[in-house]
């Protein structure tokens, strides 16, 4: 299956490291122009340079751009979408990858500031970025939105309960937008399992071997595992798929 994105423009939030950076590299390799966004410009520049170094002279400023934006800030979302269109002339693919989890512990004990922050980035943020993509480009030209949820949205984990609530809500948002924005815009979600990222380090670092043995495929996920699935959803190979969630977890939910 030839998964190409030639001529497409993608915007990926939370793309300075981990899954977001892996998706950016995968999309560039498939021929897309990519705007990568996160809260820290220096980290974005470092990621962009790494992508350019990986692919050599064939990739540069013409194919990768950076924009500093807090995913939970509506004004930043509007500005970043606008900058993407101004830089590359269009916006075909939005990946809502940015997420936060500032609290671990029993959900019933979470303080309201951290509850609000988790909601603002993981759910409201995803909606606002999708809304801006729709208003500024996709309503007229069509497009493709990919929301990065989690298997936590399909299960219960007491130490990250509110995070999982936002990820479950993101799945329903995905289905609702898929129906509302069809046929011009496809909206799907990915539900990663436990992936070896800095954000999830507290969940895997101290017990990677033991956790791996409980997973049917006997390993934790790598950012590239999620990037490969995202490329499929971003490409025309998935042109008859909308409103669904693809679980990428090595069988962990089993």
Task: Report pLDDT digits (tens) over 196-228.
Answer: 887 777 665 677 788 888 899 999 999 999 999
Assess if CATH 3.40.50.720 describes domain 9-246: yes
Give domain limits for the chain. Answer: 9-246
Task: Report pLDDT digits (tens) over 56-80.
Answer: 766 655 799 999 999 999 999 999 9
- Determine the Cα–Cα distance for residues 180 and 187; give it in Å rounded to an integer: 10
CB contact at 8 A, 86 and 137: no
Comparing 209 with 14, the larger pLDDT belongs to: 14
- Determine the Cα–Cα distance for residues 211 and 218; give it in Å rounded to an integer: 8
Query: What are the residues facing 34 on neighbouring strands?
Result: 10, 64
Number of residues written out for the chain: 254
Which one of 2-6, 60-64, 187-191 scores highest in mean pLDDT?
187-191
CB contact at 8 A, 227 and 173: no
Structure letter (DSSP) for residue 173: H
Position 60 scores a pLDDT of 56
- Determine the Cα–Cα distance for residues 91 and 243; give it in Å rounded to an integer: 20
Mean pLDDT in the chain?
A: 94
Structure letter (DSSP) for residue 53: H
Catalytic positions, please?
163
Query: 3-state SS of the chain: helix, strand, coil percent to 5?
Result: 50, 15, 30
Position 205 scores a pLDDT of 62
* From 104-113, 199-208, 244-253, the region with the lowest mean pLDDT: 199-208
Strand order from edge to edge, sheet including 143-148: 64-68, 33-38, 9-13, 93-96, 143-148, 185-192, 245-248
What is the pTM assigned to this prediction?
0.95
Percent of the chain with pLDDT over 70: 95
């Amino acid at each position: 299956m030839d998964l190409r994105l030639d001529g497409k423009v993608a915007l990926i939030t939370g793309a300075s490291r981990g899954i977001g950076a892996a998706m950016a590299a995968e999309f560039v390799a498939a021929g897309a122009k990519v705007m990568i966004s996160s809260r820290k410009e220096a980290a974005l520049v470092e990621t962009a340079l790494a992508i350019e170094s990986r692919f050599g002279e064939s990739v540069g400023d013409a194919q990768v751009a950076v924009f500093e934006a807090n995913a939970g800030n509506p004004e930043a979302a509007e500005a970043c979408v606008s900058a993407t269109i101004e830089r590359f002339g269009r916006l075909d693919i939005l990946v809502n990858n940015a997420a936060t989890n500032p609290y671990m512990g029993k959900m019933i004990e979470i303080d309201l500031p951290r509850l609000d922050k988790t909601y603002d980035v993981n759910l409201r943020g995803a909606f606002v970025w999708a809304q801006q993509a729709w208003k500024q480009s996709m309503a007229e030209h069509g497009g493709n939105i990919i929301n990065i949820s989690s298997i936590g949205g399909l299960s219960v984990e007491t130490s990250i309960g509110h995070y999982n609530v936002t990820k479950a809500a993101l799945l329903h948002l995905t289905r609702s937008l898929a129906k509302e924005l069809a046929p011009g815009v496809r909206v799907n979600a990915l539900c990663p399992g436990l992936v070896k990222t800095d954000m999830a380090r507290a969940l895997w670092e101290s017990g990677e071997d033991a956790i791996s043995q409980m997973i049917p495929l006997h390993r934790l996920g790598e950012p590239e595992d999620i990037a490969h699935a995202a490329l499929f959803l971003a490409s025309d190979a998935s042109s008859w798929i909308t409103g669904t969630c693809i679980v990428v977890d090595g069988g962990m939910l089993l």
